Amino acid sequence: MEAWTGCMPAPRGIVHEARELEESGWDGIIVVDSQNLAGDSFVALAMAATSTGRLKLGTGVSNPVTRTAAVLASATATVHSVSRGRMTLGIGRGDSALAHLGRAPARLAQFERYLRHLQTYLSGGEVPFDELVDIPDASAPPVETLALAETPDASRIGWIAGTAARDGKPLVEVAATGPKVIAIAARHADRVMFALGASPERVAWGIGVARAAREAAGLDPDGLSFGAYVSCACHPDMETARDMARGNLTVFARFAVMHGRTSGPLSERSREVMQKLRRAYDMHRHTQGDSAQAALLTPDFIEEYAAVGSPEQVFERLARLRDLGLDKIVVNGNWRGARGGDGALARRLVETEVLPALRA
């Protein structure tokens, strides 16, 4: 099972950080893709590619609204080429990137159509113009209005074929929480990345939903990979570990209740916490551990939904996820925002004790 972690897409800072994470044994890094909150993710990933030789790279996550599928596919393939085949595109329906444009996550039908187009572009295929409904006539009229002698009759990224022949096609993985998005991901993605917390019961439920969706679509249920985003804080003092996990955990817990209903196995107490979190969530304090929403997370909820505690406790939880058949986890830990030396200690414990044990 590959172990990835997150970075901020700072084009200069990521050069050093990516090299350091590679040397520390991580398999890959993701960067956020939220234009109002951070720098451009693909510029940062390209910079990281030039300073590393083994570390895999990805977005965590892009969305189907702020770029057309052709633009996103081209950016992905560009980093894939620069990195000699190390790029993975992570995509979801959109959260903070859309909230700061006054929008909610993309509609399901649009998301599924976008994924289909994305995979077509990355595979070197073409998308009919009449399917490109994301560009309204009010923004740009059809090319036929120019009365040119010759025009393209479909949308295709011609230069991708050369990159794909050398480096292969970039993987597309979908961040998914609810059964409808899990099913869409199962039909169109190379990997489903569950945002279901570190609960083995919830992740097992998600795998079951995905496999059933593949079978219903006439696809091989074994032709799909699974991974998970895991909020993690490794520290010998449990209270400190719980506090370190709060900020990141609010983001992923909210995904499970964003539209008011929860899915998958949950205790009644956890449902109550999620509903309170949804009502109190302040997007201006997104990811912040000292926010009002973070204060709502109870100790029991954190220990159920995150991998926290000593190296032994964190390893035990991650090993249970690995044994479900996951081939990738993205470990999200608030190492930078922790008090004093707690963050450095937490990261060191993961890198020197947890990761080696997972690979043993």
> What does the DSSP assignment read for 175-191?
EE-SHHHHHHHHHH-SE
In 3D space, the residue among 10, 59, 47, 36 whose CA is nearest the CA of residue 330 turns out to be 59
Q: What residue has token string 């032709």? A: 223
Q: What residue has token string 């080696």? A: 356
State how beta strands 126-128 and 154-156 pair.
antiparallel
**According to the model, what pLDDT value does residue 257 have?**
87
**Cα-based angle 275, 278, 279 (whole degrees, multiple of 5):** 90
**The token pair that represents 14 in the structure block:** 């990521």
Amino acid at 289: G
Mean pLDDT, the chain, integer: 94
**The token pair that represents 302 in the structure block:** 């954190």
**According to the model, what pLDDT value does residue 81 have?**
98
**According to the model, what pLDDT value does residue 266 have?**
92
pTM of the full structure = 0.94
Beta strands in 140-281 (DSSP E): 154-156, 171-176, 191-194, 225-234
| In this structure, CATH architecture of domain 1-143+153-176 | Alpha-Beta Barrel (3.20)
Given a cut of 50, the residues of the chain with pLDDT beneath it are: none
CA distance 22 to 195: 24
Which strand (E) or helix (H) includes residue 304?
Answer: helix 299-305
Where along the chain do its domains lie? 1-143+153-176, 226-360
**According to the model, what pLDDT value does residue 337 have?**
63
